[in-house]
Amino acid sequence: MPENKDINRLKVVLAEKKRTNKWLSEQLGKDQATVSKWCTNNAQPSLEMLLKIAEVLDVDVKELLHSSKEEPMYIRISKEMTIEG
C-alpha cells in the first residue's frame, strides 16, 4: 500500500462544486495552508471537521472519502467510461 495514499476526495469535491480552497477556508475559519494540506492529502481533517466540511459543501460525508474497500475492476471501468463519455 502506498505510504502517501489519498484518503480524502476534498480537492475533487471542491472542483465539482466550483469552489476554491480559499472559499472553504473562509467558511470554516481555517488557515488556507491547512485546507491546502487537506486537499493534497498531506494532512487530514478531524472527523468533526470532516462533518463541517460536508455541511458547508452540502454533500454526504461519504463523498469526501475514498472507499476503504477496493471496487471490482469492471465497476471502476464502467465509472470511468461514464465520466469520460
* Residue 2: predicted pLDDT: 46
Extract the C-alpha cell encoding 53.
466540511
Class in CATH terms, 10-84: mainly alpha
Predicted TM-score (pTM) of the model is 0.75
DSSP codes, 8-52: B-HHHHHHHTT--HHHHHHHHT--HHHHHHHHTTSS---HHHHHH
The DSSP secondary-structure symbol of 70 reads: P
In the chain, where the domains are located: 10-84
Confidence of residue 5 (pLDDT cuts 50, 70, 90): confident
pLDDT tens digit string along 27-84?
999 999 999 999 999 999 999 999 999 999 999 999 999 877 765 555 555 566 666 5
Confidence of residue 1 (pLDDT cuts 50, 70, 90): very low
* Residue 70: predicted pLDDT: 67
